[in-house]
């Protein structure tokens, strides 16, 4: 039987292949393994062990004389590498769609045909300065380019990451959210078609996201105990509906619905929900999950009636979280209602509630010390029964 084990040598190793030919390889000064290859890059094997030893001796002498050069790295375009990078990652469908869109619309038009190793820092700065998309898309495009190039560094395809623009990958909230008041929420709900009114109330007092509400089923509502069970959400990916679980385990949650919303819940279950436990709570006219674009048309009209043209529907989630914090929810409770696994977002609401509580306390002191302008409340006299 042929001996397939590599022979021990001071420099390199030789292996006899099942075909009877010999393969030679060695560890280069750069720490990489090199096997004998032809000039076109195809593997090179030898008729005899002596021929393989001769090839290794030539390579060893090149190393000793300082004439050894590493094999040139294969030239790969950014588009080719980005494609393989994207294919190798486990991503949520909408994230994959976002990355593909960023590559197609913003990154590959400039770098797609460029060799990965030829992209320079100045190229990236010029590209970033010339992007005409919105602030968020610009930041996301830069983040994606930086991440892909970072992986290329790890893969030893480029020596360093050319994405070195300080702060280019950070996103700041472009608008300040002013939460809706209870009166505004009531006005918004009343202005919506009856089949959508509960969506407004649940968003403002229980805080589910639109995609979570669009996938709610009759069985997800415990009308006896007033509990909303959030287990799934629906998203649109390349025009198709995709039902999936929440982003994290914390997204699977039970949210207690405030009692004053429960009459609307029961009325909606009776009048607008599809029959059976799996019946959609907020079905579209066609019977499938509601599209956000359909809902948005009515929402725009309602927020105009409420004199809140600035209010996005997602802002009602902030309203719900702020109300829960103001009502005394502690950090774990607030995180559970929000469906968040990290404390960062919940602490924002708790901090804001604490500031409001301080303002209330200061106002109480002003009233107690007589330094505030107090408008007396006129009490109604009881009529004496005749």
The C-alpha atoms of residue 335 and residue 329 are separated, in whole angstroms, by: 9
Does residue 60 have an active-site annotation?
no
Cβ-Cβ contacts under 8 Å for 205 (sequence gap 6 or more): 185, 257, 258, 261, 320, 323
Does residue 340 have an active-site annotation?
yes
Catalytic residue among 25, 106, 317, 337: 317
Catalytic residue among 209, 218, 241, 298: 209
How far apart, in Å, are the Cα atoms of 106 and each of 41, 141, 235, 335? 35, 7, 24, 36
DSSP summary character for residue 233: E
Catalytic residue among 26, 99, 205, 349: 349
Does residue 314 have an active-site annotation?
yes
Catalytic residue among 314, 351, 358, 363: 314
Catalytic residue among 25, 232, 253, 340: 340
Does residue 21 have an active-site annotation?
no
Listing DSSP states for 194-206 in one string gives GGGHHHHHHHHHT
Does residue 349 have an active-site annotation?
yes
Cβ-Cβ contacts under 8 Å for 141 (sequence gap 6 or more): 102, 106, 107, 131, 133
Buried-exposed string 11-40: b where 16+ CB fall within 10 A, e elsewhere: ebbbbbeeeebbbbbbebeeeeebebeeee
The C-alpha atoms of residue 349 and residue 346 are separated, in whole angstroms, by: 5
Main-chain dihedrals φ then ψ at residue 254, nearest 5 degrees: -110, 125
Active site residues: 209, 314, 317, 340, 349
């Amino acid at each position: 039987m042929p001996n397939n084990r590599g022979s021990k040598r001071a420099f390199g190793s030789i292996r006899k292949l099942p075909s009877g030919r010999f393969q030679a390889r060695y560890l280069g000064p750069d720490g990489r393994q090199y096997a004998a290859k032809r000039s076109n890059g195809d593997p090179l094997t030898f008729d005899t062990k002596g021929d393989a030893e001769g090839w290794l001796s030539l390579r060893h002498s090149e190393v000793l004389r300082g004439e050894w050069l590493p094999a040139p790295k294969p030239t790969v375009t950014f588009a080719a590498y980005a494609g393989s990078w994207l294919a190798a990652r486990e991503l949520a469908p909408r994230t994959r769609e976002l990355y593909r869109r960023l590559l197609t619309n913003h990154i590959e038009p400039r770098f797609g045909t460029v060799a990965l190793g030829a992209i320079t820092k100045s190229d990236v700065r010029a590209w970033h300065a010339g992007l005409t998309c919105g602030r968020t898309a610009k930041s996301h495009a830069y983040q994606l380019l930086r991440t892909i190039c970072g992986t290329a560094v790890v893969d030893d395809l480029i020596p360093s990451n050319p994405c070195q623009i300080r702060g280019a990958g950070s996103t700041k909230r472009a608008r300040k959210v002013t939460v809706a008041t209870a009166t505004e929420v009531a006005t918004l709900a009343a202005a919506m078609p009856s089949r959508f009114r509960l969506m407004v109330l649940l968003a403002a007092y229980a805080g589910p996201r639109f995609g979570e509400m669009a996938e709610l089923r009759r069985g997800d509502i415990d009308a006896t105990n007033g509990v909303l069970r959030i287990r799934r959400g629906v998203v649109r990916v390349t025009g198709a509906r995709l039902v999936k679980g929440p982003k994290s385990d914390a997204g699977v949650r039970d949210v207690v619905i405030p009692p004053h919303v429960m009459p609307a819940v029961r009325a909606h279950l009776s009048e607008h929900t599809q029959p059976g436990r799996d019946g959609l709570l907020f079905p579209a006219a066609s019977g499938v999950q509601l599209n956000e674009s359909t809902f948005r048309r009515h929402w725009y009209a309602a927020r105009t009636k409420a004199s809140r043209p600035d209010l996005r529907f997602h802002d009602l989630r902030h309203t719900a979280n702020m109300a829960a914090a103001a009502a005394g929810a502690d950090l774990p409770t607030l995180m559970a209602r929000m469906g968040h696994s990290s404390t960062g977002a919940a602490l924002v609401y708790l901090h804001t509630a604490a500031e409001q509580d301080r303002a209330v306390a200061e106002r109480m002191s002003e009233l107690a010390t007589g330094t505030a302008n107090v408008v007396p409340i006129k009490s109604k006299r009881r009529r004496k029964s005749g």
